Amino acid sequence: MAIMIPAWVDGNLQPVEKLEAHLRGLKHKAISVFVMSSERILIQQRAMGKYHTPGLWANTCCTHPDWNEAPDTCAPRRLNEELGITKLPLHHRGQVEYRADVGGGLIEHEVVDVYVGEALGDLSIAPNPDEVMATRWVSHTDLRAQLKATPAAFTPWLHIYMARHSDMIFGAMAAP
């Protein structure tokens, strides 16, 4: 079954098949979640079966809402589907837009609702192997260093978030 996501076509928001939106580089809605634990960020390594950017490290969860799905509904749903994380309060930090070549002739042109959740104590993580092959906690400072040292190991959107939107996402933690 084709996944239909909200995309702008000729200036109107319409349901478009996800792969088609990426092939055509259509601007479309997306969600990004950053789960934090004090000074650490939970990042995920995308499963090798993903149709773009397989094996690359990304923020905790990134996805597209289904057609007619509210961002506030999509974010916790996908956090559970990808990582088995439930009952974690998420806070909307704002919206960003970016356009990035993700390889294979595919373009992510996204209008992203960004959410942050603070994990208190032990957080149960159960990655879905169809979505995620690994997770790890990393400090903001170490993530910046790793992005610089091994840029090809990370998704284009994580580079964009850290370079252009870090203050909005991480607040005081983003200060150099």
Out of 61, 62, 74, 82, the active site residue is 62
Neighbour tally for 156: CB within 10 Å: 19
74 noted as active-site residue: no
Q: Are 133 and 50 in contact (CB under 8 A)?
A: no
* Residue 61 designated active-site: no
Residue for token digits 């009952």? Answer: 87
Q: Which of 20, 82, 110, 131 is catalytic?
A: 110
CA distance 33 to 23: 24
* Integer Cα distance of 174 and 74 in angstroms: 26
Please list the active-site residues. Answer: 62, 110
